[in-house]
Amino acid sequence: MSEEDKLAINRRNFLMKTGLWLGGLASVVTLIPVVGGIFAPLIKKKNQIWRRVGLEKDFAPGTTNLVKFINADPEPYAGITAKSAAWLRRENNNNFTAFSVNCTHLGCPVRWEANAGLFMCPCHGGVYYKDGTVAAGPPPKSLVKYNVRVYKGEVQILTAPLPLTNLNAAKS
């Protein structure tokens, strides 16, 4: 084997090993956010906090009102995304129900149509009855409910960090 052939083989081996190392490094760098996304929910404690949304006397029986609040675990950099809202319905003197403003189809904000007694989603035509159950359209399930309580004359909603997936399992 000539000196040139040995040099060509060494160069080929060097380039092959360098390519494999760079490919492996790129794979590891790409996987870091994926692994973080998988394990972050397991590591971070999901806080639930009772947030005041108004006084009991501010909500008349039979009405549905939009209430705004700060999420349970806002990050310092969250800005406006730390804010959320819910539709609060006062059934009678002692019974409140709160629904997420987000449609269960693709998360568009629903609006309350008082004359029809329905929640309407403008994005894809989802319709919900006043109790949050699906009336028509593509939504796969009812509106997500928040736990509500009246504490010392204040109406409070049990908030949770986004996403709002397991609020019905929360305990009052």
Burial 90-128, CB ≥16 within 10 A → b, else e: beeeeebbbbbbbbbbeeeebebeeeeebbbbeeeebbb
**Integer Cα distance of 116 and 41 in angstroms:** 40
- The model's pLDDT over 12-69, given as tens digits with 9 standing for 90+, comes to 888 899 999 999 999 999 998 888 777 776 665 667 888 899 998 989 998 999 999 8
Same domain membership, residue 15 and residue 67: no
CATH of the domain at 124: 2.102.10.10
Range(s) of the domain holding residue 18: 1-44
- The model's pLDDT over 67-111, given as tens digits with 9 standing for 90+, comes to 998 877 777 777 777 788 899 999 887 789 999 888 888 888 999
Same domain membership, residue 76 and residue 12: no
Same domain membership, residue 60 and residue 33: no
